[in-house]
């Protein structure tokens, strides 16, 4: 045993004293804390428990009612075309290694070192039964191997369904698809099926409790709970992937494999079809933001899907933007600040809109007697109008309200594939090519569009009488509005811009202080921007 010398005892005595003082001070505090913890640990009273159990029972009842109608779908998609050159492996076919009589069948592949045979692509998703007698199941088009624009005719698809009662690998066939809304209807032959009722997504409100049911990561019959976080969401680019979006947003956990499964309300009714998640590339899974196609969209296309018919939609042939998207935009047209309506940003040639005389910068106030609140509302109304129907549009043009009759036509197959940059809207006339202007108040530099600049920015079509953005200050007003090099400035207010001098005169400090609108043509299409600058300090 070691002993401490008197010299070294004094520090230890100090430590002991400090511990004793701390104990005296901490004792009462610890008692208070322990008392608080005991209060927190007290069991909830009977009324609180009853409420909690009632909520739990409600979730359990919905899950029991709905799960028997939810299925897991496994798809195997075989492309009919061989792999492109460059994707070589040991399973490929080398024409030079074949017997001479067979080589002539592979002449079209000359120049390729190997011909890789088509390979199946498998996937797992979800669906739900809507007709137990006929075995009809709703899911997403992308779950069964489809894509936007509909390429099912070029692919061989095999589908198998696993039911909630454990019956597996039931062969399914495709009845109908609607790639533009990402909805598909498939069918199986089986007895003792359970169907789920369809609700009314128009009644869904932010804050409503919902359950998402499906097979995330292949884990079938998974139930998650959340609320409706938002309605009327459009999250993908307008002309890409799924053009018809009016989605419900939910925080109920949705992951890969949930696609096609139902989002149900507390009555056990389908209000949405789970379709997508918002996530980062690093996580690749649930982060609290999921989306579902409103069930009313399904109801609209269901009659055509049941019969295997093409889903026919009406169209006008215009690019549009809602006035509500940018506060202050309505006033630039002479409308009231809170006036709702839909701005026409582009009228495509040889379309119902052009035939009726609709013009760029017209504001549509009502469609067939119904006032418009947003661009997606007009889009939905037109799409649901039977081709050949004549409707009246109330339009605001140059400070006056006019009525324009339009005959809706059938939407062409490639309607959403149009390239907005092909061809310039203004042609002819002489301009001061090569001129350059800088609008300091906006942090914007523009030049007269030349063939060289058009080639630099990838702008196709006519180059005369057009002004292009060439520089944008990162911290300037133009950057804040989303302008970028390569954007073509089409008009300011109602004035078509044909050269940089006109733009400089139109974007005076006085005009910017009053507020004005500018229309630009970007790679994604036409945009109308509202800009208003505060007066410069004197």
Residue 282 binned pLDDT confidence (cut-offs 50, 70, 90): low
User: Would residue 17 count as lying in a domain?
Assistant: no
Tell me the per-residue pLDDT of 522-534, one tens digit each, with 9 for 90 and over: 887 888 999 888 7
Number of Cβ within 10 Å of residue 40's Cβ equals 6
**Which of 294-298, 444-448, 453-457 is predicted least confidently?**
453-457
Average pLDDT taken over every residue of the chain: 81
Task: State what percent of residues in the chain have pLDDT above 70.
Answer: 76
Does residue 149 have a pLDDT over 90?
A: no
Does the residue 361 lie in any domain? yes
Catalytic residue list contains 259: yes
When pLDDT is averaged across residues 348-376 and rounded to a whole number, the result is 93
In this model, does residue 511 exceed pLDDT 80? yes
Residue 42 has pLDDT above 70, yes or no: no
Same domain, 247 and 289: yes
Is 302 domain-assigned? yes
Decide: 345 and 320 in contact? Cβ < 8 Å.
yes
CA distances from 153 to 69, 94, 119, 381 (A): 29, 29, 17, 29
Confidence bin at 106 (pLDDT 50/70/90): low
Do 339 and 402 belong to one domain?
yes
Give me the mean pLDDT over the 358-363 stretch. Answer: 94
Q: Which pLDDT tens digit goes with each residue over 482-496?
A: 899 999 999 998 888
pLDDT band with cut points at 50, 70 and 90 for residue 181? very high
Q: In the prediction, which pLDDT does 79 show?
A: 58
Count of alpha carbons within 13 Å of 129, Cβ hemisphere only? 27
Residue 183 has pLDDT above 70, yes or no: yes
Residue 150 scores a pLDDT above 50: no
Reply yes or no on whether 340 is catalytic. no
Least confident range from 31-35, 137-141, 420-424: namely 420-424
Q: Domain for residue 399, yes or no?
A: yes
Of 96 and 300, which is predicted with more confidence? 300
Residues 78 and 155 in one domain: yes
429 lies in some domain: no
Asked whether residue 332 is assigned to any structural domain, the reply reads: yes
Q: Are 213 and 66 in contact, with CB atoms under 8 Å apart?
A: yes
485 and 501 housed in the same domain: yes
Whether 321 and 302 share a structural domain:
no
pTM over 0.75: no
pLDDT score for 454: 86
Query: Tens of pLDDT along 260-275?
Result: 999 999 999 999 999 9
Query: Is 300 one of the catalytic residues?
Result: no
What is the pLDDT averaged over residues 50-58?
A: 91
Instruction: Calculate mean pLDDT across residues 35-49.
Output: 67
d(CA 126, CA 218): 9
CATH of the domain at 366: 2.30.42.10
| Cross-strand bridge partners of residue 172 | 159, 188
Under 8 Å between Cβ of 217 and 256: yes
pLDDT of residue 429: 33
Please, which pLDDT band fits residue 15 given cuts at 50, 70 and 90? very low
Name which residue leads in pLDDT, 96 or 32. Answer: 96
Residues 148, 178, 181, 182: which is the catalytic one?
182
- Check 75, 126, 142, 220 and give the catalytic one: 142
Domain boundary, last residue among 359, 387, 417: 417
Cα 315–chain centre separation: 21
Q: Which of 353, 344, 367 is nearest to 407 (CA)?
A: 353
Nearest C-alpha neighbor of 467 from the set 443, 439, 434: 434
Residue 451 has pLDDT above 70, yes or no: yes
* Band of residue 427 on the pLDDT scale cut at 50, 70, 90: very low
410 and 319 in one domain? yes
Per residue in 309-320, pLDDT tens?
A: 999 999 999 989
Q: What is the number of structural domains in the chain?
A: 4
Domain final residue, candidates 188, 223, 246: 188
Same domain, 149 and 83: yes
Active-site option among 259, 319, 366, 374? 259
pLDDT at position 121 is 75
For 224-249, how does the pLDDT look when each residue is reduced to its tens digit (9 = 90+)?
Answer: 999 999 998 888 654 456 888 889 99
Residues 226 and 261 placed together within one structural domain of the fold: yes
Tokens standing for 525? 């299409």
Mean pLDDT of 471-483: 88
- Here the CATH number for the domain that contains residue 123 is 2.40.10.10
The answer to whether residue 166 scores a pLDDT higher than 70 is yes
Provide the residue range defining the domain that includes 246: 201-307
Does residue 280 surpass a pLDDT of 80? no
477 and 517 co-located in one domain: yes
Residue 433 pLDDT class (50, 70, 90 cuts): very low
Co-location of 391 and 449 in the same domain: no
Q: How far apart are CA 332 and CA 515, in angstroms?
A: 7
Asked if residue 328 and residue 402 are part of one domain, the reply reads yes
Half-sphere exposure in the Cβ direction for 395 (13 Å, CA): 20
Cβ-Cβ contacts under 8 Å for 528 (sequence gap 6 or more) = 321, 326, 329, 343, 345, 517, 518, 519, 520
Q: Give a yes or no: residue 131 inside a domain.
A: yes
Mean pLDDT of 50-56: 90
Do 468 and 513 sit in the same domain of this protein? yes
Residue 130 in any domain: the answer is yes
Determine which of 45-59, 105-119, 360-374, 397-411 has the lowest per-residue pLDDT on average. 105-119
* Spatial CA neighbour of 395 closest among 384, 382, 404: 404
Which residue, of 390, 417, 444, is where some domain finishes?
417
Average pLDDT rounded to a whole number, residues 175-182: 94
């Amino acid at each position: 045993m070691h002993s401490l010398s008197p010299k070294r005892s004094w520090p230890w005595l100090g430590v002991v004293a400090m511990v004793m003082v701390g104990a005296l001070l901490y004792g009462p505090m610890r008692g208070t804390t322990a008392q608080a913890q005991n209060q927190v640990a007290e069991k909830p009273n009977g009324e609180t428990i009853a409420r909690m159990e009632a909520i739990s029972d409600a979730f359990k009842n919905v899950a029991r009612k709905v799960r028997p109608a939810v299925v897991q779908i496994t798809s195997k998609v075989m492309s009919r075309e061989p792999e492109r050159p460059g994707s070589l492996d040991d399973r490929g076919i080398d024409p030079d290694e074949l017997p001479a009589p067979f080589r002539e069948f592979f002449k079209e592949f000359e120049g390729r070192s190997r011909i890789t045979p088509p390979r199946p692509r498998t996937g797992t998703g979800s669906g739900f039964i809507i007709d137990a007698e006929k075995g009809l199941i709703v899911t997403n088009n992308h779950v069964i191997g489809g894509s936007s624009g509909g390429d099912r005719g070029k692919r061989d698809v095999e589908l198998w369904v696993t039911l909630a009662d454990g019956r597996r690998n039931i062969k399914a066939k495709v009845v109908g698809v609607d790639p533009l809304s990402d909805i598909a209807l498939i069918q199986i032959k089986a007895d003792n099926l359970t169907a789920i009722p369809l609700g009314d997504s128009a009644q869904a409100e932010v804050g409503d409790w919902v359950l998402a049911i499906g097979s995330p990561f292949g884990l079938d019959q998974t139930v998650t709970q959340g609320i409706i976080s938002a309605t009327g969401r459009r999250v993908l680019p307008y002309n890409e992937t799924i053009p018809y979006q009016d989605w419900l947003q939910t925080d109920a956990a949705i992951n890969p494999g949930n696609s096609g499964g139902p989002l149900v309300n507390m009555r056990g009714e389908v209000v949405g079809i789970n379709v997508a998640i918002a996530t980062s590339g690093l996580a690749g899974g649930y982060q609290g933001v999921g989306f579902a196609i409103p069930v009313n969209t399904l109801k609209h296309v269901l009659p055509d899907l049941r019969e295997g018919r093409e889903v026919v939609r009406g169209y006008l042939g215009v690019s549009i933007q809602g006035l509500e998207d940018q506060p202050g935009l309505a006033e630039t047209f002479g409308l009231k600040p809170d006036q709702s309506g839909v701005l026409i940003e582009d009228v495509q040639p040889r379309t119902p809109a052009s035939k009726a005389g609709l013009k760029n910068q017209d504001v549509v106030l009502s469609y067939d007697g119904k006032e418009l609140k947003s661009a997606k509302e007009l889009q939905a109304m037109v799409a649901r109008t039977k081709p050949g129907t004549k409707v009246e549009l109330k339009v605001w043009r140059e400070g006056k309200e006019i009525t324009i009759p339009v005959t809706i036509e059938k939407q062409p197959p490639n309607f959403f594939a149009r390239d907005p940059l092909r061809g310039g809207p203004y042609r002819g006339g002489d301009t001061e090519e090569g001129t350059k202007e800088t609008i300091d108040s906006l942090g914007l530099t523009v030049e007269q569009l030349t063939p060289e600049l058009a080639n630099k920015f990838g702008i196709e079509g006519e180059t005369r009488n057009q002004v292009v953005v060439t520089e944008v200050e990162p911290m300037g007003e133009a950057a804040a509005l989303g302008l970028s090099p390569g954007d073509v400035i089409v008009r300011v207010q109602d004035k078509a811009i044909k050269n940089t001098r006109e733009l400089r005169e139109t974007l005076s400090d006085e005009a910017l202080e009053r507020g004005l609108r500018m229309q630009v043509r970007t790679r994604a299409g036409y945009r109308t921007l509202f800009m208003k600058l505060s007066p410069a300090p004197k």
